[in-house]
Amino acid sequence: MLGLTLWRPWPVLIARGIKKIENRPWVPGRRLQEGARFAIHAGKKWDDRCLLKAEQLGVPKDVFDGQREISSVIVAVVTFAGIVTSSHDLWWMGPFGWLLEEPIPLPRPVPCRGAQGLWSLPSSVEKEVMAQC
């Protein structure tokens, strides 16, 4: 299974199905096909811009409770539904939007070191993630 590391607290919005588009400056290419599931990893870095955007869009503040305390964990699995280059989605920022469907938040985040780009989960981590799905 592939993973994608995001700065916190963006991953919680995806895990809860609030944010259904992930903005990237690149497309995943052949490594990630439509309909494939991949892991959402909460990295170490924190992005305050997420809180500002969420506030503008009316996301309740309690969605972010406890998010500063978690890092370097897999928090969810999502289905990749394709790429768009424009969108009316309120989370759209571009230049490429990865459409995300069917989020499965993990009841227990799985510790794992992240990486840049799309990366392969270690087999032990993938096994633990799949057991929670």
d(CA 86, CA 72) in angstroms, rounded, equals 31
Give the pLDDT band of residue 45 (cuts 50, 70, 90).
Answer: very high
Average pLDDT of the chain, as a whole number? 97
d(CA 125, CA 63) in angstroms, rounded, equals 25
pLDDT for res 58: 97
All domains of the chain, ordered by start, with CATH?
A: 2-132 (2.30.130.30)
